[in-house]
């Protein structure tokens, strides 16, 4: 799995951080998403998929490893 985030789209809701804190964080000043791990381990894939699906701004994009 390969993750990318669109910081411009991010609205700072923080759902991704609550669901997958090992993969996502937020900037202190504005709450915009920070991607901690662009290629998480397989055991984190379900949480990452859930985080992407609940993102209100659709700022999390998932792809397959090249």
Please check the confidence at residue 62 and state whether its pLDDT lies above 90.
Answer: yes
- The model's pLDDT over 6-48, given as tens digits with 9 standing for 90+, comes to 999 999 999 999 999 999 999 999 999 999 999 999 999 999 9
- 58, 53, 42: which is closest to 10 by C-alpha? 58
Q: Is the dihedral of CA 22, 51, 14, 11 positive or negative?
A: positive
- Alpha helical stretches, state H, the chain: 15-19, 45-54
pLDDT of residue 64: 84
Secondary structure tally for the chain: helices H, strands E: 2, 4
């Amino acid at each position: 799995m390969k993750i990318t985030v669109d910081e411009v789209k991010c609205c700072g809701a923080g759902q991704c951080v609550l669901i997958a804190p090992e993969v996502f964080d937020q900037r202190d000043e504005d709450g915009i998403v920070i991607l901690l791990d662009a290629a998480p381990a397989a055991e984190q894939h379900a949480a990452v998929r859930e985080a992407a699906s609940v993102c209100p701004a659709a700022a999390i994009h998932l792809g397959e490893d090249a």
